[in-house]
Amino acid sequence: MSVDPTSDVVTCAFCGTSSFIQRPRRAPTAPMPVVPQGIPTIVVSDDYVKNPAQVLIAIVVMALVMVAGVVAFLATGRGRGPSGDRYSVGGRPLPVDANGDGIADIAMTLTTLRESSTEHLAAFDPTTGKQLWRTEALPKRPDHATAAQGVLVATVGAVLYGFDGKSGARVFNTTLPELPDALCEHAGGIGLLTKDKKLYPVDLGSGALGTPTAGARYAHEAGTRCIDLDPPHASHGPRLFEIEERPYRDRLKAMQVSDVFAIGSSTLALAVGTRQPGTRVPMLAMFDGDRQLWAQEVPGSEPLAAKEGDPTAIGVGAGRVLVAYERNDKEELHVVCIEAASGKRAWEVAFPERSFFTSFGITDRYVVMSGFGKARALALADGRQLAMISGH
């Protein structure tokens, strides 16, 4: 491992672990660097400044301890892709039938963990966590990604890529006239909204762009509103876009409304907020036009033990609302499944890693929770955990 004497962080090329190097201050007035949360720290004394080679020794000793655990893990045969490499997964999980059995699997971004990392899209079986295929290497991590009509669509810089959902083979790559701003729902399958507010229909067979019309990213802009298939906020599911919340505030007397999301092109709207007055327990409410369908606290039991404030994340799909919230008294993340039309609670499950979650992916059978290099697959019917998707 080579150590840059001007750097505060060193990363192991084998296991991907980064460690903070805490050196003496270079001058009495120089501020001490802030250690990133959760990162291991290597303390370097004045002696090491005189003999920098010893820094390498200290790191190697620490790395050997880490490697021992990694080697034991890899010896079990887990944590490797088809080519034997290690990887992390991330991004919003995308439903796609990756093996042709008519049942949606899941695709995510995949980053190989080696000295020269590469970025891909990859498909996994949610029942086993097995990697089914991965695409060719991409120039960098996709800026936007979604799936429609059996095609995975991703943007990398000013290039639009399309990959076959059953094989991962590239179908097209199209150079764009402007940088993309969003991937949108469109009558033809996918619309591409560019930074100059033009909305292009995309031919999913060839990647050709149709004649653009005026597009709108937000409600106050002129043009056809983009129903975002890859929202910029990871905790918001696709096809949810914010609308004006003021009309809903007066209708919900026991709830402080923070945001209201229209659900695709339907007449449904999901209000997100907290209970009022009293403890700010996470709450949801569903409307169909002007009619309130239901409103309820997110925790099914012990609501006062929930972390105060809005839910951690939301997603809507397959006629269900998926919502995550955290507990104050335990290091737990809870996921709740609610029937969208009736408000009936289908299930609630708890996980021991409160900070695990980043985004939901919902198919007609599975819920996939992505977070921090790995993902969990659950059965949509009852919340039962099926597999952990991880290449660590």
Q: What is the pLDDT of residue 21?
A: 77
Single-letter residue type at 66: M
Domain range holding 299? 235-357
Please report whether residue 253 resides in a domain. Answer: yes
Please report whether residue 208 resides in a domain. Answer: no
CA distances from 70 to 41, 77, 126 (A): 19, 11, 24
Supply the CATH number for residue 352's domain: 2.40.10.480
How many domains is the chain partitioned into structurally?
A: 2
Q: Which long-range contacts (CB under 8 A, 24 or more apart) does 232-237 make?
A: 234/92, 234/313, 234/358, 234/359, 235/312, 235/313, 235/314, 235/324, 235/357, 235/358, 235/359, 236/261, 236/313, 236/314, 236/315, 237/92, 237/314, 237/315, 237/316, 237/317, 237/322, 237/359, 237/360, 237/362
Q: What is the pLDDT of residue 147?
A: 97
Q: What is the DSSP string of 195-259?
A: TTSEEEEE-TTT--B---EEEESSTTSSSEEP-BSS-SSTTBPTTEEEE--HHHHTT-TTEEEEE
Q: What is the pLDDT of residue 83?
A: 53
Q: What is the DSSP string of 127-141?
A: TT--EEEEPPPBSSS
Nearest one of 9, 15, 14, 13 to 55, comparing CA atoms: 9
Read off the tokens for 195.
């930074």
Strand partners, 285: 271, 295
Please report whether residue 154 resides in a domain. Answer: no
Q: Quickly tell me which residue has 């409103």 as its tokens.
A: 295
Phi first, then psi: give them for residue 57, nearest 5 degrees. -60, -45
Please report whether residue 48 resides in a domain. Answer: yes
Q: Which residues of 74-95 are buried (b: 16+ CB within 10 A; e: fewer)?
A: beeeeeebeeeebbbbbbbbbb
**Cis bond leading into 277, ω under 30°?**
yes
Nearest one of 67, 222, 78, 229 to 147, comparing CA atoms: 229
Strands of 264-354 (E only): list them.
268-275, 282-288, 291-297, 313-317, 320-326, 333-339, 345-351
Q: Which long-range contacts (CB under 8 A, 24 or more apart) does 216-222 make?
A: 217/181, 217/182, 217/193, 219/243, 219/244, 221/197
Cα distance between residue 282 and residue 306, in whole Å: 8
Q: What is the pLDDT of residue 361?
A: 96
Please report whether residue 150 resides in a domain. Answer: no
DSSP H or E run through 65: helix 53-74
Q: What is the pLDDT of residue 250?
A: 86
Q: Which residue ranges of the chain lie beneath pLDDT 50?
A: 25-30, 46-50, 52-80
Q: What is the pLDDT of residue 115?
A: 81
Domain final residue pick, 50, 74, 98: 74
Q: What is the pLDDT of residue 16?
A: 53
Please report whether residue 138 resides in a domain. Answer: no
At 37-93, the pLDDT tens digits run: 556 777 665 444 445 444 444 444 444 434 444 333 333 333 445 556 799 999 999
Please report whether residue 127 resides in a domain. Answer: no
At 190-239, the pLDDT tens digits run: 999 999 999 999 999 999 999 999 999 888 899 999 999 999 898 999 99
Please report whether residue 141 resides in a domain. Answer: no
Domain final residue pick, 74, 105, 128: 74
Q: What is the pLDDT of residue 39?
A: 61
